[in-house]
Structures are given as C-alpha cells and as structure tokens.
Amino acid sequence: MIDLAQLRREPDVVKAALARRGVTSSTMDEIIALDARHRVLLHDAEGLRAEVKELSRQVGEARRAKDAEVADALTLESRTLGDKEREASDATEVVARELNERLLMIPNLPAPEVPDGLDENDNVELRRWWVGMDAGVALPTYAEHQRVAHWEIGVQLGILDLESGAKIAGSMFPLFRAGGARLLRALGFFALDRHMADYEEIRPPSFALTETMMSTGHLPKSADDMYAIERDGLWAIPTAEVPLTSIHRGEILDEAKLPIRLTAQTACFRREAGAAGRDTRGLLRVHEFDKVELFAYCTPEQADAAHADILSRAEGLLQSLGLTYRVLNLCCGDLGTSSARTLDLEVFSPGVDRWLEVSSVSWFRDFQARRANVRYRTSDGSTALVHTVNGSALAWARIWAALVETYRQADGSILLPDVLAPYLGGETRITSRPS
RNA sequence: GGAGAGGUGGGUGAGUUCGGUUUAAACCACAUUCCUGCUAAGAAUGCGGCCUGUUAACGCGGGCCCGAGGGUUCAAAUCCCUCCCUCUCCGCCA
C-alpha cells in the first residue's frame, strides 16, 4: 500500500511516479478527494460520539445520585444523539471502505533507477556472465549435443515424465523421475546449505489465509493467478515470500534485531491464467515448482545492502552451477505490483535457445510492511515501517532445464557440475540406466 | 469431530458474579530525575498502538483498541451471537 500521508503531502510527486506505471492522475485525484471527504466525515462522527459518551457518563452520575428524572431526560437526549452518531459513522465507514479498496489497487512507486517502459521488451540488461566469458562475445558456443530441449532429454533418460504429471494433475504439473527427481532434491539442499549461516531456515505452510495474501500484495489484484481452496478460505502460495512476510505481521520489531534474514524452500503454485498457450512446453512455464527464497525485514538504511546480498547469492549459485545468465533491470511496465525495484536473473537454455527467468530480486520499500503492519522501534522510541526485500535463489524447474541441456554430453548422458556431487551421493552423471 | 477450561497492555495478573466512581488496578520489567554512596537500596515521574483535529514546532484535544467480527444498551473488558486460537480429556489419523 502506498503512503496516504505522502499522497497528501506531495501529490504531484506521487502522481508523477505512478504515471510511469500507467496510473492516471485522475485516479489519484479521486483517492485524494475520498480521503478529504473521509476525514471530514470522521471528524463529525467522532465529535458526536464524544458527546454521546459525555451524556452517558452524566446518566451514570444521575443514577448514582438517585435522580431518576434527570437520568431519564439525559438518556433520551443521548439516545437521539446516538442515532445521529450512528448515521454519521455509517457514512464514514462507506467512504473509508471505498478509499481502502481503491488504495489496495494502487501499485508501489517505482524507484528512480527503474527504467521507463511498457513491457518486458523494455527491460534493461545490466550484464551477462558465463564460464570463460569473453568481452565482445554475446554468448558461449554450445555443441550440437547441448542443443536438445530438456523435454526431449527428459524422455530419453526417463528423468522427466510430463505425461504422468498431466495424468495426475493436468498439463503443466511436471513429474520428475529417478536422477531427475534426485537432481531437484540436490539443488534445494545445495542452496539452503549455502544460505543457512546467515539466513534462518524456515519451512512454512504451503497455504495461506486471504489476509496473508493481502499483505504481500498478491491479493486482491492477482486473484486469478492464484489457486484457491474456497471451502477453507485458503490460497496456495505462489512463493515463500507470502508466508515469510506474515511471520511478523502486526508486530513491532526490535531495531537491534534487524535485519531479520530468512530462507525457505517451498512448492510454488501459479495458475498462469493470463499465459494460456504461451511458453507451455516442458518446464518453461509450470503450475507448480520448487523454489528457495531469500527474504529480509530491514530498516530503510539496510535495504540496499540486503537487496545486494540476495542478488549476489542468487548470482553466486548460478556461477557455481556454471550456467550462463544475464541480469535485467525491470522497467516500470514489467514491475510487480508491490515492488519499487526488481532485478531479474535469466538463465540461458541452450536446448530451447531462450533466456529463462529463474530469480526476481525485489525491494518493496514499506509497501508490504504497511499492508502487513510490520514496524520496528527506532532508537528515539518511535515506530517506523520496516522495508522488505526478497529474491529467489533459485527457482529450480527452469534451472533443472538449463542444467540438463548445458551439461548434456555427446553420448546423451548428463555430467553435472562437481559442486552438486555431495548432494548426489557422489554420482554426478545421469544416464538412462540409473545405478 | 465431541466435551470442558481459557484468551486482558512488553511480562505476570485483577476486574466479568450484578453493565456506569476503570480515562483497565497492582506488581515486574524499562526510561528519566532525585536521594544515598558503591558488587546495593530507596523515592518521584513517565511507561502502548492506530486514526484524527489544531499548532511553525513543543504541545493540547477527540475517537478506536481487553483474541476477531457482529448485536443489545443512553452506556460493554463485563450481557448476547458467530468465528479463530490455546490448554485438558475423548475420538480419528501419517
């Protein structure tokens, strides 16, 4: 949620920032008008309420003094006033609700570093990395045996069984087998082990209440992209960011404990409603995938460093895995609702010949903290909203795809990087006859 | 799922019988100051959050918050309803 006080204080600044994201000036003017109206109504209603309370107090006094006549008169007066108060409160409530609904639909203000742009085509590439990279060369050279799509490799080696996945849950629910399943498990362990010294490992629930989903900004705006379990009022989490943001929901944190850094691997569920028929082959876009998330609650001053740390960890994993990747600075049009600034990591898939998004490292400022009401006590004793930052490190389905393609050998087997050996029982080769 | 007991400020905990002298007592913890004078004790004061009016600001005022949400009433921590959570017992279960 954006800062209403800031909107009052400097409406032009807020409007200019939001205009970059396509929010019109008139939309904001309507909110400003609603807010002004709300405060007038609120003041009236509270004035009446104060009078009712004072009269009630006097009724009590009169009753104790056994002065029934005065008590009855005051009761009558208070009753009349109470009816007016109720009317005023109801009117205030209607406006408050309307105002809140509007505010929930407003996205975060983009940071100044966020480039202009309408969609993903306007994202700005910051850098590329690959093993043995050369200046002036766009991409590494891949052999023919690396130019095979992972869904074909998956069938050849019996490690990815999309047909069974579709039989069980419908298309875009992948099923991994044998060495493929084991690779997925290895990746999660590998990443969590890397982070656990500095980030507390969490294993959160996979479902969340509506309130929890509201806190991160996934609801109400993106309801169509979420799986809902209506009977129990629950939603399947699209990312661990959702439960992690609500761990401290409604709390006032001790500044000395910040930053609070958390990591979690969870399944992530996405309906991909707006993407029907797009990029649907193999693991390019799936309804369920495992992902390790890094997350921090921090002070505004700590946010930059926290964001940079998550980015460098995600990049570090990619480098350890020897995958080719690039870093994108997302433009205004591609930014998530809650984010003030996001850097995406995309890994190169030689078999599909495409870049695949495997991490999104975002800084939310106090946008989520305001919704989730997470504050901290500053050294001068007052309270302030925390900043939240998070990023994937990493999303495994697409990493899996890039790995099996990149490390496919001429004989059709896969020889994985040695860093994974401890998590694979020392066996880094995947063949069609699993040992 | 069934039966019972609970949920009050940072913590402990009173108030709920019977609605009104409670703007939630008291204690602990914490902060500042004073006194004393040294591995310590005592005293005073302060001690929450959110919204809002006013003010240049310090501040002053109003409203809301006793698990959540409704209701009754002139007036609700207190009475009524629904829901959530915790504990005990039973049932079921990986």
Query: What are the DSSP calls for A349-397, one per residue?
Result: ETTTTEEEEEEEEEE-TTHHHHHHT-EEE-TTS-EEEPEEEEEEEEEHH
Is nucleic acid strand B under 7 Å from A66's C-beta? no
Q: What is the mean pLDDT of residues A339-353?
A: 97
Q: Does residue A88 register a pLDDT over 90?
A: yes
Q: Number of H helices and number of E strands within chain A? A: 12, 16
Is nucleic acid strand B under 7 Å from A63's C-beta? yes
Protein-covered nucleotides on strand B (Cβ within 7 A): 20-21, 49-53, 62-64, 73-75
Domain A4-104 CATH class label = mainly alpha
What is the reported pLDDT for A424?
Answer: 97
Q: Does residue A433 register a pLDDT over 70?
A: no
Beta-carbon contacts of A151 under 8 Å, excluding residues fewer than 6 positions away, are A160, A162, A281, A282, A283
Beta pairing, strands A375-377 & A252-254: parallel
Q: Does residue A276 register a pLDDT over 70?
A: no
pTM comes to 0.93
What is the reported pLDDT for A382?
Answer: 83
For the segment(s) A120-430, the CATH number from 3.30.930.10, 3.40.50.300, 1.10.287.90, 3.40.50.720 is 3.30.930.10
Q: What is the mean pLDDT of residues A399-423?
A: 98
Q: What is the mean pLDDT of residues A10-31?
A: 96
ipTM computed for the complex: 0.89
| Distance, Å, A240 CA → B48 C1' | 32
What is the reported pLDDT for A69?
Answer: 84
| Distance, Å, A254 CA → B46 C1' | 21
In chain A, list all ranges with CATH 3.30.930.10: 120-430
What is the reported pLDDT for A299?
Answer: 94
What is the reported pLDDT for A435?
Answer: 47
In chain A, list all ranges with CATH 1.10.287.40: 4-104
| Distance, Å, A399 CA → B55 C1' | 60
What is the reported pLDDT for A63?
Answer: 85
What is the reported pLDDT for A273?
Answer: 82
| Three-class SS state of A167 | helix
Beta-carbon contacts of A432 under 8 Å, excluding residues fewer than 6 positions away, are A156, A157, A158, A412, A413
| Distance, Å, A427 CA → B88 C1' | 52
